[in-house]
Amino acid sequence: MFMSHLFNRRTVLGSMTALGSLYAAAPLLAQTTKIIRIGYQKSSTLISVLKLQGALEKQLAPLGFQPSWHEFTSGLPLLEALNLNNIDFSADVADTVPVFAQAAGAQLTFVAQEAPSPSAQAILVPKDSPLRAVADLKGKNVGFAKAAGAHYLLIAALAKAGLTLADINARYLTPADGRAAFEKGAIDAWVVWDPFLSAARIQSSARLLADGEGLASYQRYYLSSTRFAEANPKVLDVVYAELERAGLWVKRQPKDAAALLGPFWGLDPAIVEQANGNRSYAVRAVTPERLVEQQKIADAFLAEKLLPKPMDALNVPLFKPTAPSRGARG
């Protein structure tokens, strides 16, 4: 089974919101209406905006489609669900996650990419920590989510300091568990992404040890199952255009976006606004040139023996949007 050494199927299915009752509500829709099952996580800002605004319901209706929404704890179980045909479209996941999916043979199509946001993930330490540089992490307990963008950031930061993962005590933790361990002092450092990053810095006065500048670009990807992409290019055109519009809206109206997302995420709008300021939200088509760092990521994980064999991270199906841009609207 896909990525069985990291997540079993029960974990994946358990992380989904109401998937088992997905079709229970189907009679409420017209008999000819089809469903696009969208998976997302807490850091999926633009998909969250579209969900809250009802934008996809409106724009997909003329094509006979309606979205259904399914929340996951992080990117890896999200893409496993995509590979298992439990969802059709994955909201943004960190650049590392597709590498693991591809290594396991998942049939995924890259639909869109967010331009780099290197400051949206970082290595944090408590405000009174004696640790002052990445080199000080040697022998320390460091928490992070396995296969997440934070994982690659840590590898890159350690390498620059002349260390490897073998030089630290790695603690694989979900964002929620990582926050709890960080505040209890169970870990010496925490590597995490926004909005968790901004929440820890504002609420716990966590101190930045290093972010992704010069280390990891942190480009986030939107993916579809290849099966769905080949059968429904017009649907993906609509989704792509709405993501582009949402990205522009968040950057142009930061306070409105924070006010919308704050209650949904259970975070103070000030935290959300800071987190959104760290992300580019510049949605763009995926091209071979924009995938170059994916190979670097794959090679780094192979060197750490976290991938079973060398892989070509660039030979992947790419969706080419054809719908006119609606990013300037609204």
According to DSSP, the β-strands at 283-284 and 108-114 are antiparallel
Q: State residue 322's pLDDT score.
A: 87
In the three-class reduction of DSSP (H, G, I as helix; E, B as strand; rest coil), residue 78 is classed as helix
Task: Report pLDDT digits (tens) over 283-292.
Answer: 999 999 999 9
CA angle 164, 168, 170 (to 5 degrees): 105
Q: How does strand 141-144 pair with strand 189-193?
A: parallel
Position 78 scores a pLDDT of 92
Q: Evaluate if residue 73 carries a pLDDT over 90.
A: no
Q: What is the CA radius of gyration of the chain?
A: 19
CA distances from 47 to 23, 25, 239 (A): 21, 21, 9
User: What pTM was estimated for this model as a whole?
Assistant: 0.85
| Of the candidates 290, 144, 153, the residue with the CA atom closest to the CA atom of residue 221 | 290
Kind and range of the H or E run holding 91: strand 89-94
Q: Where are the alpha helices (DSSP H) in the chain?
A: 9-14, 45-53, 55-60, 75-83, 96-103, 149-160, 175-184, 196-203, 226-231, 233-252, 254-265, 269-278, 292-303
Q: What is the mean pLDDT of the chain?
A: 89
Distance CA 98, CA 104 (A): 10
pLDDT tens per residue, range 257-312: 999 999 999 999 999 999 999 999 999 999 999 999 999 999 999 998 999 889 89
Instruction: List the domains of the chain with CATH numbers.
Output: 9-116+219-267+280-303 (3.40.190.10), 118-211 (3.40.190.10)
In which residue are the tokens 């841009």 written?
A: 325
SS3 87: coil
Please state, in angstroms and rounded to a whole number, the distance separating the CA atoms of residues 193 and 252.
22
In the prediction, which pLDDT does 1 show?
Answer: 42
Contact 258, 250 (CB under 8 A): no
Average pLDDT over residues 100-122: 94
Q: Say whether pLDDT at 136 is over 70.
A: yes
Closest CA to 50 of 243, 285, 253: 243
- Percent of the chain whose pLDDT exceeds 90: 80
Closest CA to 35 of 47, 46, 19: 19
Question: Where does the pLDDT of residue 189 fall: very low under 50, low under 70, confident under 90, or very high at 90 and above?
Answer: very high
* Average pLDDT for 170-187: 96
Query: For residue 295, what are its two tokens?
Result: 């190979």
Q: Which residues of 207-236 are buried (b: 16+ CB within 10 A; e: fewer)?
A: bebbbbeebbbbbbbbbbbbebbeebeebb
Decide: 44 and 116 in contact? Cβ < 8 Å.
Answer: no
Higher-confidence residue of 26 and 214: namely 214
Residue 105, class by beta-carbon neighbours within 10 Å (0-12 exposed, 13-18 middle, 19+ buried)? exposed
Mode of pairing for the β-strands spanning 89-94 and 220-225: antiparallel
Rounded Cα distance, 73 and 50, in Å: 19
Per-residue pLDDT, 326 = 52
Can you give the pLDDT at residue 316? Answer: 92
